[in-house]
Structure 1
Amino acid sequence: MPHPLRGTAHGARQWLFGLLLVALATAGFALGTGSAFRPPPGYVGDFTQDWLAVREFGAGRPVYGSLPDALRRHMNGEPPEDFLQWNAHPPGSLFLVLPLARLDHADAFFVWNLVTFPLFVVAVGIVLVELGAGSGRARAGAATVIAVAGATCYPLYHQVLMGQFNALLAFLFALAWAADRRDRAVLAGAAIGLAAAVKLFPAFLALYLIAARRWRALGAAAATAAAIGALALGLFGTGAWRTYAGEVVPAVSAKYATQWNNLTLRAFWLRLFDPTPESRVIPLYHAPVLGAALAAAARLAVTGLAARAAWRAASVAGRDRAFAATVAAVVLVSPIAWPHYLILLVVPVGVTGAALRHSAWRWPLGACLAVLWLPETFVPGLVLGPARAELMGIHRHAPFTPAENLLVTSVQHYAVLGLFLLTLRAPGGPDGPR
């Protein structure tokens, strides 16, 4: 008969080993990227807007007041030229940053990265364990890859540099997927609901829950998102939600709708037929109605394919494929998706890579992943030259011709679309209802 404490001791060792690997991966990434976790003096990243909002709240001012004025008050400097007028993130996200309001900007930024980056490492670990790579050697290998090769992964570096929310969201997506495949519906739904409360676009994952008829998880997701929304309403007031929905969302969507490194389907089609002057893109033909119609049709097609995969899923493998496809679809159908959003694709990369590793489809998958791994200016730099690519990084480039837009600057969009289609190509077990 086994010793009654042996299992407990083994579990404790596994947890300690896992925590050690997470710590080593985090330290390795920080060293490999030149300690990007802590910003230099005067640096302004995406995290800055959330920190300024909660600082304003602590001073008794609206969280969606003038962001440039808040920067002058709390950072004693002038805002960058393209600085937003308001915080672009929803009220629910501010709960996470509120505990850091008393820290100065650099310390708060550092703590945020120190807390959120390990969650991405955990997300990778969840995917590996769920797909069967659960040995200590496999986990150690994954930690080494994240620490060493991860330092060359531009979306991951960009996430840390900007202090974004996507490491947290990647963790919540992986947790929801693992919980769903283990039939832990409440946990899966709560993870999706929390993600939707933090950044609204993850609410698209409700499509999977509806189409796959995961009703308990859907209820948990709705209850979690509603509870956090109600707390934000009570804490920040109705004015915060009114300003965010009525002014912030339309202004941000219009400002970045057709920017060249916006990876979404809507941005792709509008760049072809109705680009904004700020995006510096020459249209193929100026036809706003056609661009909007094609964008809507493309988003509807991707949504339909993801819903069909979820509806027909009749096994764990089928649900894996459907969930992974829906995560990839999130990036495509959102109004805005930047390169740091690509770290959200941990589940589709893991599921599709495991399913196609012995198939000829692994080669196009590898090509897509290589494009997604590199900076969005890498391919343009090879074709258009490094000087122009550098100007693209600060959005001061010469206007792109239609050919450059289609064949050079849209390569990462094609890679995301390719990953989505390859995920649908992955074996999913027997089909369910048609």
Structure 2
Amino acid sequence: MNGERIAAAMRQSAILAVIWVCTLLVLIGTLTKMPEQWHRRDFSNYYESAWAMRHGIDPYSTNLTPIGAQLGLETNWLVHASETPPFLLCFEPLTRMRPRVAFWIWIAINFSALAIAMYLLLVRRPGLPGRTALLLAGLMLMSAPVNLNFYWGQSQLIVLALMVAAMRAMERDRDGTAGLLIAAAALLRAYPLLLVGYFVIRRKWRAVNFAIAGIAAGGFATLAILGLAQTLSFIHGALWLTDYRVVNRLDNLSLGPFVSRMFWSITGIAPGSSADWVRRAAIGAADVLVLGLTIRATLAVSDRRDPDWRIYSLWIATAVMLTPVGWHHYLVLLAIPFVQMVASATEDRSSSRAIWMAALAYFLSAISLRAFSRFMVPPPTAFQLALPWLARALEETSFVALLTGYIAAYWFATDQFRVPATDVAPASAGDSRLHGQKNHRLKPVPPTSIAIV
């Protein structure tokens, strides 16, 4: 089946009705669980960390458990801060309210970010049919990563909104605004900094300059407010995220932790041993391989406008792959490449293998945590004892979901496709006759010779 047939089948009224019934059931389930989440999980860690920072306590090197007990929050294993200093500064005003009130304001902020991202992705996307937008909206709202962001009180929906807004800004040739939006995302979560590499290779120098200026301004503001010692203490939080207990968590799905777990499982070498350099070298080699594939795919597409935002989508998937620590809710960022694939499929500009791989990634993201909680908790379960190798494979389903998402984005970027001439930048930005006109002539884009199998 080609992309258009897949998209047409999914837009049938019966399928749309089933998807939205499932969406409402999932949302109801998430909403009913949220009232009891105000004092635990990631929101608790954010609140404890920002509260400590506001009271002159270093949250990166201090055990937050006593602070959590004082505030009525559950610290659990998140005993240190791991968020960037700018993030904690932005969160700090919420600590002037009671945790329960702050929790619901935080949820409202994230819901607003999701609404903005969906509006920019699905409503402001030129040429996206209404039924297709309705289909994608349902699939996004019922997806496991979106619901986990609310369940954990996480912040990836804010990053999603910033990345989508940057994409829309570039569509309007506002590269400076795009650079500032990516700078804001990088200051909040660090790993979006990789997207500056996209600007560099695509020679969007205005975006590069504004991104660097935005990051520098945010960094200097943080230094002025917190001081050098408190700001640099973030290094302790970053190092804590590389601790064995964090890296070995099965829901830590980025590439580096996956390579580490495979190394420890195959070799049996204890963490911190003299041979640990082999593991670090393997992580470096894997990171270089993925980044090299992304750069080569970027260089293979010479079109300045990045039709359908294929290369931008690939860099987003790459950023999630290469972040030193990544959790299941990070997969919400794959909504950008997946929406772009389906939107281009309505005009038969997506390869069927990219669409099917994206569907597989979506399916795996839905079942990975459920399979883990059903068959592997608490260990050792009867399933693990009876089928250890199958259990080991299921344990890494979250990483496989991310990997298949990256492959889908890679195929979307590199498979030979044809785009309308209107997707190509006009020869002169000042020639108003070229704006708003629709030309159905097709232009081939050279494919890359790389294949991922």
Instruction: Determine the structure 2 residue equivalent to 1:377.
Output: 369
Instruction: Determine the structure 2 residue equivalent to 1:11.
Output: none
Is the Cα contact below 8 Å between 1:309 and 1:318 reproduced in 2?
Answer: no
Is the Cα contact below 8 Å between 1:379 and 1:408 reproduced in 2?
Answer: yes
Instruction: Determine the structure 1 residue equivalent to 2:279.
Output: 291
Instruction: Pick closer, same or farther for the CA change 1:360–1:136 going to 2, 3 Å.
Output: closer
In 2, Cα distance between equivalents of 1:366 and 1:132: 23
Equivalent position SS for 1:377? helix
Instruction: Determine the structure 1 residue equivalent to 2:155.
Output: 165
1:266 corresponds to which of 256, 268, 276:
256
Letter in 1 for 2:107: N
Equivalent positions of 1:5-20 (< 5 A) are: none
Is the Cα contact below 8 Å between 1:124 and 1:346 reproduced in 2?
Answer: no
Equivalent positions of 1:194-343 (< 5 A) are: 194-245=184-235, 247-254=236-243, 255-274=245-264, 282-283=265-266, 286=269, 288-315=276-303, 316-318=305-307, 320-343=309-332
2:408 corresponds to which of 412, 422, 429:
422
In 1, Cα distance between equivalents of 2:174 and 2:74: 49
Is the Cα contact below 8 Å between 1:172 and 1:192 reproduced in 2?
Answer: yes
Letter in 2 for 1:414: V
Deviation of 1:401 (Å): 8.9
Letter in 2 for 1:368: A
Post-superposition CA distance 1:34-72 (Å, at most 9, x none):
34444456x312122221233234434445443123213
Equivalent position SS for 1:223? helix
Deviation of 1:206 (Å): 1.2
Aligned-residue identity in percent: 22
Instruction: Pick closer, same or farther for the CA change 1:314–1:111 going to 2, 3 Å.
Output: same
Post-superposition CA distance 1:215-267 (Å, at most 9, x none):
1101111111111121111112212222111x211112224223212111111
Letter in 1 for 2:395: T
In 2, Cα distance between equivalents of 1:343 and 1:106: 25
In 1, Cα distance between equivalents of 2:391 and 2:259: 11
Post-superposition CA distance 1:72-106 (Å, at most 9, x none):
3322x6743x232x211010102321221211111
In 1, Cα distance between equivalents of 2:230 and 2:31: 37
Larger deviation: 265-274 or 415-424?
A: 415-424
1:100 corresponds to which of 94, 111, 131:
94
Instruction: Pick closer, same or farther for the CA change 1:29–1:360 going to 2, 3 Å.
Output: closer
Deviation of 1:124 (Å): 2.5
Letter in 2 for 1:422: A
Instruction: Determine the structure 1 residue equivalent to 2:389.
Output: 403
Instruction: Pick closer, same or farther for the CA change 1:320–1:88 going to 2, 3 Å.
Output: same
**Taking structure 1 as the reference length, what is the TM-score of the superposition?**
0.79
Is the Cα contact below 8 Å between 1:30 and 1:37 reproduced in 2?
Answer: no
In 1, Cα distance between equivalents of 2:33 and 2:176: 36
Equivalent positions of 1:25-64 (< 5 A) are: 31-40=28-37, 43-64=39-60
Instruction: Determine the structure 1 residue equivalent to 2:359.
Output: 366
**Taking structure 2 as the reference length, what is the TM-score of the superposition?**
0.75
Q: Which runs of 5+ in 2 are unaligned?
A: 1-22, 270-274, 418-443
2:376 corresponds to which of 382, 389, 398:
389
In 1, Cα distance between equivalents of 2:448 and 2:377: 51
In 1, Cα distance between equivalents of 2:385 and 2:185: 36
Is the Cα contact below 8 Å between 1:270 and 1:288 reproduced in 2?
Answer: no
Instruction: Pick closer, same or farther for the CA change 1:219–1:104 going to 2, 3 Å.
Output: same
In 2, Cα distance between equivalents of 1:122 and 1:288: 44
In 1, Cα distance between equivalents of 2:24 and 2:93: 24
Q: Which runs of 5+ in 1 are unaligned?
A: 1-25, 275-281
Equivalent position SS for 1:336? coil
Deviation of 1:389 (Å): 3.0
